[in-house]
A and B are shown apart, each in its own frame.
Chain A
Amino acid sequence: MRLTLPGTPDALRVLAEAITAFAARRGLTHDTSAAVHLALEEVVTNILVHGFCGRPGAAIDVTVAVAPGEVVACVEDSAPPFDPRQAPAPDFDSPLEQRRPGGLGWFLVKRLMDGIDYERVGDRNRLTLRKALPAAASAPQAP
């Protein structure tokens, strides 16, 4: 599946509809589809909020494919270089009243996905997310 999302909050609506349709077409389990959807939504939200600083930006290209044993999603944007592997971890240590917000989105992406790769290609960021398919999807379950 290949998507061109607008560089505006509308991207989230377009993404949600496309992922739901893709998951149904390819027979993904609910959990796999939910994980890929949430991870992609976090990535796109970060591009809109931090990459484009909340202003309308250039289109964001998303591809999602089912490969043997995994779902591979790729996101390309033209925001300034950003390697999510260097994103700060959320503040889990401070008491609630003093906790700094932020970092939660990438934290979720890292917990939800089985692999994250980043490269800068020309003037674009390319992020690749991998989610392993559940073993039960390819083997019949024991009675």
Chain B
Amino acid sequence: MEMEKIPCTGGAIVALAGRLDGLTSDTVKSRLLDVIQGTALRLVIDFAGVTYISSAGLRVLLEVAKRVAAVKGKLVLCAMGRDVRQVFDLAGFAALMPLCASREEALALPR
């Protein structure tokens, strides 16, 4: 799993690439929580490079969403591919966190 952090106004974009599964979820979770570090930031997670997500990956998103909400930040997901989107929808996560088509859209979303 590759992760790239790109600073943006008021927060950061984290681009993920690879498989978000039981093997990678702990690393991804701890690095995303590091990015938040108790600041009320806008966190955009770019899924363009993510090819696979399992329930372990969904749990990471839930934990990150909880942490961002606790510090009154904003979490937006973007650029999810078809396979990952299907699992995301199947688990009912679309109702829990905003999902945009692109980074630009995610950054333009009001807080």
Q: How large is the interface on B (under 10, 10 to 19, 20 to 34, 35 or more residues)?
A: 20 to 34
Chain B minimum-CB-distance residue to A108: B55
Contact A99–B23 (Cβ < 8 Å): no
The segment from B9-17, B34-42, B59-67 found at the interface with A is: B59-67
The dominant DSSP class at the A interface is helix
B100 interface hit (Cβ, 8 Å): no
A99–chain B nearest beta-carbon distance, Å:
6
Asked whether B55 lies within 8 Å of A42 as measured between CB atoms, the reply is: yes
Least CB distance from B23 to A in Å reads 6
Kindly identify, within residues 1 to 54 of chain A, every residue whose CB is under 8 Å from any CB belonging to chain B.
9, 12-13, 16, 34, 38, 41-42, 45, 48-49
- Inter-chain contacts of A122 with B (CB < 8 A): none
A99 touches B91 (CB 8 A): no
Interface SS of chain B: helix, strand, loop or mixed?
Answer: helix
CB distance A12 to B96 under 8 Å? no
21 contacts between A and B (CB under 8 A): A9-B22, A9-B23, A12-B22, A34-B86, A38-B52, A38-B54, A41-B22, A42-B54, A45-B22, A45-B55, A96-B62, A96-B66, A97-B70, A99-B66, A104-B58, A104-B59, A105-B54, A107-B55, A108-B54, A108-B90, A108-B91
